[in-house]
Amino acid sequence: MGTMEPLNYAWRDDVSDQEVASLHAAAFAHAEEMEPWVERLQRHSLGWVTARRGSDLVGFCNVVTDGGRHAFLLDTSVHPDHQGSGIGRELVRRAIEECRAGPVEWLHVDFEVAAGPFYLADGLFRPTAAGIVDV
């Protein structure tokens, strides 16, 4: 992936199942599995933010909606070659801006304890009590 090309962010940018699957697998260190990302985005998402260097997808986050006032930030992913450069924070910041410009009143995010400093830094999110269960 080229690092000299400019970084471009977009809301609801065209993506392919392959490129999102590849990015997600690299970012979360799991085997790459083809999933119907585009179908799910079109069906369940208010929108998504992409970060590209040239044509390479290097960052992604998804805003899923309940169809009303609540939305949920999912799948914040940055390619390992680009982690630590502020791309993830900018993806989240832009997702928040888009939610504020639309019908959303509450944007929720769940995260592992280790990711807390990322999501809670700079006032992106405030901590709340929540519950979760593995099903």
Predicted pLDDT of residue 4: 72
Predicted pLDDT of residue 2: 44
Predicted pLDDT of residue 107: 94
Predicted pLDDT of residue 121: 87
Spell out the residues 6+ positions from residue 47 whose beta carbon is closer than 8 angstroms to its own: 11, 12, 63, 95, 98
Segments of the chain scoring below 50 in pLDDT: 1-3
Predicted pLDDT of residue 69: 92
Predicted pLDDT of residue 72: 96
Predicted pLDDT of residue 24: 96
Predicted pLDDT of residue 124: 86
3-state secondary structure at position 90: helix
Rounded Cα distance between 93 and 45, Å, is 17
The mean pLDDT value of the chain amounts to: 92
Residue 1 and residue 53 in contact, taking contact as beta carbons nearer than 8 Å: yes
